[in-house]
């Protein structure tokens, strides 16, 4: 039995008991359970269960479980609240069902969502030739959805209960101080490039946004569920969501890391100016190019903080997941190169 | 060691990627095998060059510091002088890495000082540019050809 199937076997009876109790269906049976590859923060499990009936009714769920260590020190209650807040809005999200804080149920806290069927989530899929005809629709939808996130009226939702709401002029400072603190705590070796980037950010602050909005915090192709026709049906991974400057999300989606085809297309799907035009038209937010540049430099600092966190958790044995070693070996230096380019210090 | 460790690591990467991973049904375990292959390929690349890379970079940093001694304020200048006089005699990678960490920490301090002073002295501005060149060179030294499998 492999490590993955061993973990699934250990999880299955506990999860079956939990779902049976939640759904008041004592005869519920799990028919499939597997861990989704690729996650570097919270563990994601897919579970398919048959509920009694003739014929039995099958339901599929997604379990987001806290790991022993991750790339992010994130708050499951916050992520759950954002999923709840966007339910039924113009921003497609999976339906969040239950939040379980008791670590004894599955070994660590978790929450449960309904699975969205018929979708893909691979960022590499969007650069395949077979996606050519769907790509324009997908790219437009991506930036219209980002606009919908940023025009969402969040004040009457659970969001203010789980986040601090900064004044517009404090958005950049709060984010920069947060991620600088992460780097201070997590770096295994000094990082002269990212330190220079942080000093540049402090010396060249952006103007405040016209209004503070929800910021997804990790808005990129890899966190979208989409159909082969390019329809986006789910925005995932809200664990870094907060309230702040909307340009933070736009800049993050433009990060060179996600230019999968290395052809200059953001996320592998769209030119930056085209994405900005779609976003501006849909949101009514005018994108200040200098402010966007500030957030692009910031995005590399934030990304570096995430890779450094994974490196330390692997080094100290809090995580044995090889994705942390791989991202550290590969992306730490890549991020320095991206940052040097953003600062105009490398071609 | 013969066969050379990079060759053995490359063989491990190939076995994991092309023989083991395709046989695994569980997608998460298959991904783990792919990651193990990628990490092995990266280690293969780094194994042979690590000491040379660190010796080269430590020497470059010491040379930079030697040139900065006459410009920096006395306390910083004393530490730069001391660092510049060091030589890597213990060639274990762990020792070279520790020296590199010490030198790169001092580089951050020097860079920050330069940024505050370069407007008043063109020699400091030139030193600032030299630091940026060294930062660019440092990313070239660390660049890996291996990519996720």
Report residue A207's pLDDT band, with 50, 70 and 90 as the boundaries: very high
Query: Could you tell me which residue, B75 or A319, shows the higher pLDDT?
Result: B75
State how far residue A24 is from chain B, nearest Cα, in angstroms: 30
Q: Give me the mean pLDDT over the A222-232 stretch.
A: 96
Among the partner residues B32, B115, B136, nearest to A346 by beta-carbon distance: B136
CB contact under 8 Å between B26 and A34, yes or no, is yes
Angstrom distance (rounded) from CA A325 to CA A323: 5
Report residue A195's pLDDT band, with 50, 70 and 90 as the boundaries: very high
Q: Is A12 on the interface with B (CB under 8 A)?
A: no
For residue B111, which residues of chain A lie inside 8 Å, CB to CB?
A: 192, 195-196
Q: Which two tokens stand for residue A102?
A: 């008791």
Q: Which CATH number fits domain A3-114: 3.60.10.10, 3.50.50.60, 2.40.128.110, 3.30.200.20?
A: 3.30.200.20
Report residue A37's pLDDT band, with 50, 70 and 90 as the boundaries: confident
CB contact under 8 Å between B139 and A340, yes or no, is yes
| Sequential DSSP letters for A138-150 | HHHHHHHHHHHHH
- What region, left, alpha or beta, does residue A262 occupy, with left being phi > 0 and alpha being psi -120 to 50 degrees? left
Q: Give me the mean pLDDT over the B108-117 stretch.
A: 97
The yes-or-no verdict on residue B91 having pLDDT over 70 is yes
What tens digit of pLDDT does each residue of A228-263 get? 999 999 999 999 999 999 999 999 999 999 997 778
Q: Give me the mean pLDDT over the A154-162 stretch.
A: 93
Average pLDDT, rounded, for chain A? 92
CB contact under 8 Å between A195 and B111, yes or no, is yes
> In this structure, what are the phi and psi dihedrals at residue A243, rounded to the nearest 5 degrees?
-115, 135
- The DSSP symbol for A263 reads S
The yes-or-no verdict on residue A178 having pLDDT over 80 is yes
Predicted local confidence at residue A260, as pLDDT: 79
CB contact under 8 Å between B148 and A326, yes or no, is yes
Predicted local confidence at residue A52, as pLDDT: 84
- Beta bridge partner(s), residue A34: A46
Helix (H) or strand (E) holding A133: none
Among the partner residues B111, B139, B146, nearest to A337 by beta-carbon distance: B139
Find out whether the peptide bond into B3 is cis, omega within 30 degrees of 0.
yes
The yes-or-no verdict on residue A92 having pLDDT over 90 is yes
CB contact under 8 Å between A38 and B112, yes or no, is no
Predicted local confidence at residue B28, as pLDDT: 86
CB contact under 8 Å between B31 and A37, yes or no, is yes
Q: Which two tokens stand for residue B86?
A: 């060091």
Predicted local confidence at residue A221, as pLDDT: 95
Angstrom distance (rounded) from CA A110 to CA A198: 34
Q: Give me the mean pLDDT over the A292-297 stretch.
A: 98
Predicted local confidence at residue A2, as pLDDT: 45
Please list the residue range(s) of chain A that carry CATH number 3.30.200.20: 3-114
What tens digit of pLDDT does each residue of B22-35 get? 999 888 889 899 99
Angstrom distance (rounded) from CA B3 to CA B64: 39
Report residue A8's pLDDT band, with 50, 70 and 90 as the boundaries: confident
Tell how far CA A138 is from the center of its chain. Answer: 18
Helix (H) or strand (E) holding A235: strand A232-235
The residues, ordered by sequence, that sit 6+ positions from A102 with a Cβ below 8 Å of its Cβ are: A109
Q: For tokens 């909307």, what's the residue? A: A246
The yes-or-no verdict on residue A71 having pLDDT over 60 is no
* CB-based burial label for B67 (10 Å; 0-12, 13-18, 19+): middle
Whole-model pTM: value is 0.94
Please list the residue range(s) of chain A that carry CATH number 3.90.1200.10: 125-342
* CB-based burial label for A5 (10 Å; 0-12, 13-18, 19+): middle
> In this structure, what are the phi and psi dihedrals at residue A207, rounded to the nearest 5 degrees?
-70, 155
The residues, ordered by sequence, that sit 6+ positions from A91 with a Cβ below 8 Å of its Cβ are: A145, A148, A149, A152, A235
Helix, strand, coil percentages (3-state) for chain A, rounded to 5, are 50, 15, 40
- Beta bridge partner(s), residue A265: none
* Percent share of chain A, pLDDT over 70: 95
Q: Which two tokens stand for residue A306?
A: 């995430």
Angstrom distance (rounded) from CA B148 to CA A259: 15
* Percent share of chain A, pLDDT over 90: 80
What Å distances lie between residue A228 and A36, A131, B16, CA to CA?
A: 20, 7, 31
ipTM of predicted assembly, 2 dp: 0.95
For residue A2, which residues of chain B lie inside 8 Å, CB to CB?
A: 24, 26, 29
Nearest to A93 by CA among A229, A205, A206, A241: A241
Contact criterion met (CB below 8 Å) for A94 and A233 = no
The yes-or-no verdict on residue A3 having pLDDT over 70 is no
CB contact under 8 Å between A37 and B24, yes or no, is no
Contact criterion met (CB below 8 Å) for B34 and B149 = yes
Q: Which CATH number fits domain A125-342: 3.90.1200.10, 1.10.3720.10, 3.40.50.300, 3.30.365.10?
A: 3.90.1200.10
Q: Which two tokens stand for residue B77?
A: 């200048």
Contact criterion met (CB below 8 Å) for A200 and A228 = no
């Amino acid at each position: 039995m492999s490590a993955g199937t061993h973990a699934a076997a250990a999880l299955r009876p506990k999860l079956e008991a939990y779902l049976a109790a939640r759904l008041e269906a004592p005869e519920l049976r799990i028919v499939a359970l597997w861990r989704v590859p690729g996650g570097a923060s919270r563990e994601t499990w897919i579970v398919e269960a048959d509920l009694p009936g003739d014929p039995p009714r099958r339901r599929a769920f997604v379990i987001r479980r806290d790991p022993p260590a991750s790339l992010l020190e994130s708050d499951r209650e916050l992520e759950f609240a954002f999923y709840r807040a966007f339910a039924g809005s113009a921003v497609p999200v999976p339906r969040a069902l239950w939040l379980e804080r008791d670590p004894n149920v599955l070994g660590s806290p978790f929450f449960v969502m309904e699975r969205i069927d018929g979708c893909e989530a691979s960022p590499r899929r969007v650069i395949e030739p077979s996606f050519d005809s769907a790509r324009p629709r997908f790219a437009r939808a991506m930036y219209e959805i980002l606009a919908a996130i940023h025009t969402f009226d969040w004040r009457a939702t659970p969001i203010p209960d789980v986040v601090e709401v900064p004044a517009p002029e404090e958005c950049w400072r709060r984010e920069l101080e947060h991620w600088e603190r992460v780097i201070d705590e997590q770096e295994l070796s000094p990082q002269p490039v990212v330190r220079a980037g942080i000093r540049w950010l402090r010396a060249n602050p952006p103007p405040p946004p016209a209004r503070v909005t929800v910021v997804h915090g990790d808005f990129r192709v890899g966190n979208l569920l989409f159909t082969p026709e390019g329809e986006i049906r789910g925005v995932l991974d809200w664990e870094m969501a907060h309230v702040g400057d909307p340009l933070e999300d736009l800049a993050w989606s433009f990060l060179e890391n996600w230019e999968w085809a290395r052809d200059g297309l953001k996320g592998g799907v769209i030119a930056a100016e085209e994405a900005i035009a779609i976003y501006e038209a849909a949101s009514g937010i005018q994108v200040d190019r200098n402010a966007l540049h500030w957030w692009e430099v910031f995005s590399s600092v934030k990304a570096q903080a995430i890779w450094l966190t994974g490196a330390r958790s692997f080094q100290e044995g809090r995580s044995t997941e090889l994705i942390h070693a791989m991202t550290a070996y590969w992306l730490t230096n890549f991020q320095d190169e991206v940052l040097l380019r953003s600062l105009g210090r490398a071609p | 060691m013969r066969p050379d460790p990079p060759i053995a690591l490359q063989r491990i990467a190939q076995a994991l990627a092309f023989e083991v991973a395709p046989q695994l049904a569980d997608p998460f375990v298959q991904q783990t095998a792919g990651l193990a292959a990628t990490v092995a390929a990266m280690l293969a690349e780094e194994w042979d060059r690590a000491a040379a890379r660190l010796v080269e970079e430590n020497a470059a940093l010491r040379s930079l510091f030697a040139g900065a001694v006459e410009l920096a304020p006395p306390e910083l200048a004393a530490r730069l002088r001391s660092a510049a006089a060091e030589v890597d005699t213990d060639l274990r990678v762990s020792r070279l890495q520790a020296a590199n960490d010490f030198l790169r920490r001092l580089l951050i301090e020097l860079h920050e000082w330069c940024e505050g002073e370069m407007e008043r002295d063109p020699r400091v501005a030139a030193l600032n540019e030299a630091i940026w060149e060294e930062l660019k060179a440092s990313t070239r030294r660390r660049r890996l050809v291996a990519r996720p499998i």
